[in-house]
Amino acid sequence: MNNNIVRLTGLSHRYGTSWAIRDINFEISEHGVLGLLGSNGAGKSTTMNIMCGVLNQTEGTVEVGGFTMQDNPIAAKKLIGFLPQNAPLYMELTVKEYLTQCAYLRLISKKDVPYAVDKAMAKCGVSHFKNRLISNLSGGYKQRVGIAQAIIHEPRLVVLDEPTNGLDPNQITEVRKLIKAIGEEKSVIFSSHILSEIQATCSHVKMVENGKMVFADSMDAFNNYIEPDSLVMSLQNPPPIAALENLDEVNSVEVISDTKFRIHFSGGPEICERLIYRGIEQDWKMREITLEKSSLDQIFAQLSNKSPKN
């Protein structure tokens, strides 16, 4: 008995002559939120579109709940809910009218449609706007309606392509909460090019770059790869640079200004505590200390130098 919700095997896709993704392999067999991380053009949408059966791959197979997308597309698609990068919303319909249409398209039987619509609206927090035209909703609420159409038929797998793109910080927090809540009951795959987005929402991460999978593991394992190795300190009364350079675990010191320094260190981020204590002892008058986060490009370079996983 195969318990996989989704399995991608040797997935490759070529637009014209250039390969967008090459040999992507992974499977998911449990609930939770999985992040698909990658910079713009890395191949996230291509992978998701193929996974959801809206794009035919050049090579490889997609299996959802044991059904292959090529041989049993209807059975496979019943198990998937998809919010593409541009939400497929009808602006001239109300929320309720739109979700009712979606329920019929998902072949929910007529008598069950009102219940399915009410349930999806409640889950996504849009019930109070059910009679509002979609065109009159804010970006965050439009996205919630997009997510509601993706879960209306109670799929096992929910695929969300950059669902927080273009939202303001409050809306992002709300949509993240909703994604996590859905992940308690279903498998959710959600893509983003923003690392902090994936860190805040996902238990597992897969990273694609240049069409290839370069990392696949838990969020904790990913964070271990990207431990910061530099920090910035502002000191109103700095010691001589040589004194900073001679501190344990400090590899080098970069002078940004008379009072601001970048410290490159080895070991862990606990160095911050040691620097704060030392600063108090020696009256450096510390005003700021910040660990620097790696950019996606740096992480990709780091991961490419380690053994890539699939």
Ligand X SMILES: Nc1ncnc2c1ncn2[C@@H]1O[C@H](COP(=O)(O)OP(=O)(O)OP(=O)(O)O)[C@@H](O)[C@H]1O
Site of interaction with ligand X (CB under 6 A): 15, 20, 38, 40-46, 85, 193
**Minimum CB distance to ligand X smaller for 136 or for 310:** 310
For residue 167, count other CB atoms closer than 10 A to its CB. Answer: 18
| Ranges of H-type helices in the chain | 44-51, 73-78, 95-105, 113-123, 139-151, 169-183, 195-201, 219-225, 241-245, 271-281, 296-305
Regarding beta strands 260-265 and 230-235, do their DSSP bridges make them parallel or antiparallel, or are they unpaired?
antiparallel
- The 3-state secondary structure of 71-85 reads CCHHHHHHCEEEECC
**Minimum CB distance to ligand X smaller for 41 or for 88:** 41
**Minimum CB distance to ligand X smaller for 40 or for 170:** 40
**Minimum CB distance to ligand X smaller for 35 or for 65:** 35
Dihedral pair phi/psi, residue 300, rounded to 5°: -60, -45
Least CB distance to ligand X at residue 51 (A): 12
DSSP 8-state secondary structure symbol assigned to residue 131: T
Cα Dmax for the chain? 78
Regarding beta strands 187-192 and 32-37, do their DSSP bridges make them parallel or antiparallel, or are they unpaired?
parallel
Least CB distance to ligand X at residue 84 (A): 10
Q: Is 31 exposed, middle or buried (0-12, 13-18, 19+ CB in 10 A)?
A: middle
Q: Using CA atoms, how far apart are residues 232 and 289, in angstroms rounded to an integer?
A: 6
**Minimum CB distance to ligand X smaller for 65 or for 211:** 211
Least CB distance to ligand X at residue 303 (A): 16
Radius of gyration of the chain (CA): 24
**Minimum CB distance to ligand X smaller for 121 or for 296:** 296
Least CB distance to ligand X at residue 56 (A): 12
DSSP assignment of 2-34, as one string? ---SEEEEEEEEEETTEEEEEEEEEEE-S-EEE
Least CB distance to ligand X at residue 9 (A): 19
**Minimum CB distance to ligand X smaller for 100 or for 191:** 191
Least CB distance to ligand X at residue 295 (A): 16
Least CB distance to ligand X at residue 120 (A): 26
